[in-house]
Structure 1
């Protein structure tokens, strides 16, 4: 007798544990989560949860006694428990068979994506090597153009010095003084004022800052204006020396002189040509290096043991939930956009955060835009097996913390096929 009582007690304990209750279809497990009360599935009655699987049928539909679906283990019950074994088994078999078909198809698609991922990985590696070779070639070309520009600038400087040293030196200097004075005399009234200096002259060590009035007055020799004669003997030397101040745009001052001498004109044209070529090569070199940097960052991401997740890079998936549109760009970011078009970052790619057995089952996106209650927005993306790649659901269980269900064939795991159908169904 005691032995039978012991068995009954153990059976009751097992029955109230929703994780061990048998005879439940996968789609009905949510009704048997252990809590204080149990609602009959047909909605007819609420009973204490301890009466679930107590070998007494309380619900008209027999849903409180799922272990024996033909009611053969129930006793002394006023309710007539229906024999639902066949229907339950048929539904469960159909459900499990559907899951198996989805898994089989998903695994086939996953294998294709793995093969594509391996090829894409090799292409990216080859692209990186090509870009690195281009960068090396541009580096050589860049050094050559820098040398050529330096030589062109030196020849122009030598031509200027030769003109200054020859018979035309004084005329050249006078023309340069006159040209520079005229470039500073904006209103062409024959004098340079404080306002004109502030507009045209900049400090060598701080080009972005305008001269103060005191600094401009000091350059004008303590006065508020200066004619060309005083300019030639004072401010001209300060500007041409280039130790403290300079004219913001000096091209106009030399243009007239350059046009007068063919040798200087040729030297100036060569210097400008080399400067243009150097700038083009520098821009190309910078662009290639940016591409190399971006490609290295992409290749540094963990795309799975067989690069199966590589195809998700540069892809984005959208889902509209009420008034918001959510966009998941794997390995990049997650955003939320309202009907007014305002977009909010919910997080940037952080890491894989799955279980030790399957670390690729969950993604974490961190450091989104600040939340009004403090902290930053973040999103956790759970990957589930499916025959299509799509964002399936988005929830916000706590403020500014989002969870998403992302379905894709590459999340399918062969181990799932080990699950079978309960023999009693």
Structure 2
């Protein structure tokens, strides 16, 4: 059979239009962006998206029969249990519905406001996207308002937290300075105690020589001078530390362009510092022991001395006497420890020894207290308080909610508790850590025949701190939902919001 050229050309044109139509057909349940995934090959066939080894004619897409294991061949029907139906929702936000809910006779406005999932007509679903979009825009405006106000509130919290941290760092530096001064006081107090004990252990009877009496009087003068010098050193060290703080403040706050308040404050502090210089008192009186007195003490004047009543230590330099005293003490301790010598029974202390011990104990107590406080400040500075240290500013702040039967209270960085209408509170947990948008509280009061109570607090952005709800999903495990400006992020631009709508 012979076919004319015109007839063949007409058939070819018709076939081309069919292929073109097939390639341009819109697949129901697929977004515009994914339509290209459903274009057939030159033979008019198409392969399952996740199983390219399964090839189907294009006509078997949306034929209400599931051919692809991934459900990709039935995006517009309920044939595949794992399929997804795309709702365009023009004028609003697009949605994706499980294919099993397509043509089930129920209008799923929460996902498909345009009613496109009920295309078979079992039930008529009107397009409500306009009113949904208006409601959505209203909610988004409220959310944005909360984000803006919450972000501003968070900025204040961050600034407050930075101020707290700066104050703690300054306090830590001051404590380190005070500890150094206090440790110096301990060293001086211990040396003074050694000297007092040495003097006490080296005493002679009333038959002591005139030379020994004069030496003893001179020792007392040196002791007074040493004490005055020690007090003066303490005063000077304290004032040096204060001067360093003043100079540091001047260095930190000085503006070379003009004489600002920082400079004025520093200058005023320096003037007060100069005016507060304490009187030297009897410091020089004790220190200035005249050479004439020494000459008189050690002159070649003949003194009638009984060598039997003068102890040898009275003529040994102080440095050697301290060393000999230490060696004698160590030897006695060794002999007592090994049972070769009976332990010396305590005898009455002289007033100088007693006072020296009090000074040493007071210095050690002060140093220990300062170190304890320093360690506490160091732990506080090292603690985790969330991004930008923001939760540091909320430390000690408490919020609560009345659920009817119980009142639940949450204190940031501290604890959560539960209180009934009668009776005291029950601790649900102590603050443990912050991870992301959750705060964890552990080691609460132990449940009867159960675990220790604990709580997880889920946080989201809010203008103010507020508890939204409390539940107990498992025995003695509590779940809080709260809002707080600490979780607010910088708001998106108006352009992005308009694009979404």
TM-score (norm 2): 0.49
Aligned residue for 1:380, secondary structure, equals strand
Q: CA deviation at 1:8?
A: 8.5
1:127 partnered with 2:171? yes
Q: Which residue of 2 aligns with 1:309?
A: 391
Matched with 1:11 is 76
Aligned equivalents of 2:63, 2:85: Cα separation in 1? 23
1:117 aligns with 161
Task: Measure, in 2, the Cα distance between the counterparts of 1:2 and 1:409.
Answer: 54
Q: Could you tell me how far apart the structure 2 residues matched to 1:335 and 1:12 are?
A: 52
| CA offset digits 1:181-232 (Å, max 9, x no partner) | xxxxxxxxxxxxxxxxxxxxxxxxxxxxxxxxxxxxxxxxxxxxxxxxxxxx
Look up the SS of the partner of 1:129 in the other structure. helix
Where do residues 55-74 of structure 1 align in structure 2 (5 Å cutoff)?
Answer: 55=103, 57-58=105-106, 62-63=107-108, 66-69=111-114, 74=119
Question: Does residue 330 of structure 1 match 2:406?
Answer: no
Q: TM-score, normalised by structure 1?
A: 0.57
The total of aligned residue pairs comes to 299
Residue of 445, 451, 455 corresponding to 1:375? 451
Deviation at 1:411, TM superposition (A): 0.8
The residue aligned with 2:294 is none
- CA offset at residue 291 of structure 1? 1.2
Alignment of 1:268-283 (within 5 A): 268=351, 270-283=352-365
Alignment of 1:356-371 (within 5 A): 360-371=436-447
Question: What does the per-residue CA deviation read over 1:18-60, in whole Å, with 9 as the maximum and x for residues that have no partner?
Answer: 997786xx9xx9xx998xxxxxxxxxxxxxx94x4x24644xx
Unaligned runs of 5+ in 2: 1-58, 65-71, 209-340
SS in 2 for 1:9: coil
In structure 1, stretches of 5+ residues that fail to align are 35-48, 166-240, 255-263, 354-359
Cα offset, 1:98, TM superposition: 0.7
Residue of structure 1 in register with 2:380 after alignment: 298
Whether the 8 Å CA contact 1:334–1:365 is kept in 2: the answer is: yes
Match of 2:426 in 1: 344
8 Å Cα contact 2:418/2:426 also seen in 1: yes
CA drift of 1:412 comes to 1.5
Q: How much has 1:311 moved relative to structure 2?
A: 0.9
Segment of structure 1 superposing worse, 300-309 or 336-345: 336-345
Residues 88-122 of structure 1, C-alpha deviations (whole Å, 9 max, x = no match): 22211111111111112222222332233333322
Q: Which structure 2 residues correspond to residues 195-234 of structure 1 after superposition, within 5 A?
A: none
How big is the alpha-carbon RMSD for the aligned residues of Structure 1 and Structure 2? 4.4
Distance 1:68 1:411, change over 3 A: closer
Of the two, which has the highest radius of gyration? 2
Larger deviation, residues 8-17 vs 146-155: 8-17
Partners in 2 of 1:89 and 1:365 — Cα distance? 41
